[in-house]
Amino acid sequence: MGGEQALQGIGLTSPRTRERLVSRLRAAGIRNPDVLEAIRTVPRHLFVDEALAGRAYEESALPIGHGQTISQPYMVARMSELLLERGPVYALLEVGTGSGYQAAVLAHLVRRVYTVERVGALHENARERMRHLKLRNVRFRHADGAQGWPEYAPFDGILVTAAPASVPDGLTSQLAPGGQMVIPVGRRNDQMLVRITRTAQGYVHEDLEQVTFVPLVRGLG
């Protein structure tokens, strides 16, 4: 806690810093007030190493160990907004827990978050952070998320934060009718954020924007 207070003393992780981040996101086009409020609430600096805490509110992806990164604030906000665009979400699956930051933001926006991570150490750390923040509507699983989480399927929303070369069938089949998945698809330097909606007539794909995510890797890490 000493470190945290010291950082607050120099203003790098203060609520005011978070407020500036919210203003930047609004200027960048994020409109959903609930998403902006969730970003205002979640202390992003607690999701990165203490040495990087002073950079936690910059618009950048930061390393979280094991060759992985915490997504940029804009991407976290944008993907949350896309998932909520067509109404409330009750059960949401996240593939790629990483630091747990995106899951913590989502915990303020949906009834239940189910999040899956393949790297054991990241899974444990994220679970510990969520306990510390007393967010009790998030469930964690250490597994290959490309297979979803069959016990809790179907999901109204699925958010994938690592990019596969193509959309895993195991995930689309776990979407509830009317449910939506937001997923980056493609190779390292050529990825498209895609939204897939399950309708009575089948799956509708929309290409949204060019993005850069770490690759989705199969099996446990």
Catalogue the active-site residues: 71
Compose the 27-46 pattern: x for residues touching ligand SAH by CB under 6 A, - for all others.
Answer: --------------------
Closest among 211, 208, 209 to 189, alpha carbons compared: 211
**Does residue number 69 form part of the binding site for ligand SAH (CB under 6 A)?**
yes
Q: Which positions from 104 through 163 interact with ligand SAH, judged by CB under 6 A?
A: 116-119, 122, 144-146, 161-162
- How many residues make contact with ligand SAH (CB under 6 A)? 24
Q: Is the CB of 44 or the CB of 198 nearer to ligand SAH?
A: 44
**Does residue number 218 form part of the binding site for ligand SAH (CB under 6 A)?**
yes
**Does residue number 183 form part of the binding site for ligand SAH (CB under 6 A)?**
no
Count of other CB atoms within 10 angstroms of residue 129: 18
Closest among 205, 100, 111 to 156, alpha carbons compared: 111
Question: Which one of 29-37, 84-92, 96-104, 183-191 is the stretch in contact with ligand SAH (CB under 6 A)?
Answer: 96-104
Please identify which residue in 13, 80, 99, 125 interacts with ligand SAH, judged by CB under 6 A.
99
Question: Which one of 62-70, 83-91, 179-187, 204-212 is the stretch in contact with ligand SAH (CB under 6 A)?
Answer: 62-70
Question: Which one of 13-21, 30-38, 66-74, 192-200 is the stretch in contact with ligand SAH (CB under 6 A)?
Answer: 66-74
> Contact residues for ligand SAH (CB under 6 A)?
68-71, 95-96, 98-99, 101-102, 116-119, 122, 144-146, 161-162, 214, 216-218
